[in-house]
Amino acid sequence: MAEAEAEADVPAASLFGADRRLCSADMLSPPEISRKSTNCSLRSGLLSDVSSVYLSYAFCKRSLMRENDAKAFVRVWKVMEMCYKILGEGKLVTQRELFYKLLSDSPKYFSCQRHVNQTIQDVVSLLRCTRQSLGIMASSRGALIGRLVLHEPEEEHIDCSILGPSGHAITGDLNQLSRLNLSSDARYLIVVEKDAIFQRLAEDRLYNQIPCILITAKGYPDIATRFILHRLSQTFPNMPIFALVDWNPAGLSILCTYKYGSISMGLESYRYACNVKWLGLRGDDLQLIPQSAFQELKPRDLQIAKSLLSSKFLQDTHRAELTRMVETGTRAEIEALYCHGFDFLGKFIARKIVQGDYI
């Protein structure tokens, strides 16, 4: 009985215990691990406050007597066959490239991108591997800039502090990202939701005013951007990570994806979770924004808010901010701060960091 109670407390107890539960889900064979939000659990750290969301025990069964299930079963073997060929040729392909190849070879089984994406997750679960090891490359939109030097063995150094406002494009090749030697004298990592805001801060050389590294995925984070952020957090463990997002449900959802992971990524999700602090925009910052700059929440915003509020991993302070958005029915974008001038944003970020104004 005591042992059962101890096991029930495992996810909240430590990173290591949570991994034991993860492994038990990891080793479920032919049936597909369920990717539904009801099958996620939160793991929290004993030695740090890094948390992540991961898949728990629940799984769904495939019946070969039903046509749709039989197709899903065949898709797994089709994808593994294609990955075997890709690896044999020493190539890397994106999920989009893989879809068009499978659409050409097996149109009966792959009629949309979603079929490929879900099947890749099934293969990852079945083989207990990463998509990179299958020859599938992340399609990256991300960029970074600031006080960081990248050095790949036998390649030239890239000094990210002397680049143009577009920064350094993050490759989708996770193997290449993992080989990079990273050196930095920065004190902060700042994750920026939008590319336009990233370019504004890069053009203003914020990293010369505040010793920092700026990184963006230009919206919802892709795997490569999350991977390099995680690498930076592991290489520089004393460097806090701050997020600058819009004050709306989508902004909070983006922050949570960096902080906890994404249930849609299945068993890969927990690998890239980072301890991200919410710098802004937050409710306390709204007094800086003119009333005319506020917008009404859209149906999509309310849908995202409902999903976040129903999740068990959302921390109380984040929940309070989200509840305020829903109750007021309004949203605000970072650009609204430009009413104080285009150079105000850098001062805003510096003040909040110095004053410890983040959650």
List the catalytic residue out of 100, 220, 338, 358.
100
Burial 293-328 (b: 16+ CB within 10 A, else e): bbeebeeebeebbeebeeeebbeeebeebbeebbee
CA distance 143 to 135: 23
- Residues 187-198 have pLDDT tens digits of 999 999 999 999
- Residues 31-62 have pLDDT tens digits of 344 445 444 444 444 334 444 444 444 455 65
- The residues near 228 (Cβ < 8 Å, ≥ 6 apart) are 142, 144, 170, 177, 215
Neighbours of 30 (CB within 10 A): 11
143-355: what fold? Dna Topoisomerase Vi A Subunit; Chain: A, domain 2 (3.40.1360)
Is 188 an active-site residue?
no
Stated pTM of the model: 0.73
Which regions of the chain carry the CATH code 1.10.10? 67-134
Asked if the model's pLDDT at residue 10 lies above 60, the reply is: no
In this predicted model, which residue has the larger pLDDT, 113 or 243?
243
Classify 67-134 by CATH class: mainly alpha
Which regions of the chain carry the CATH code 3.40.1360.10? 143-355
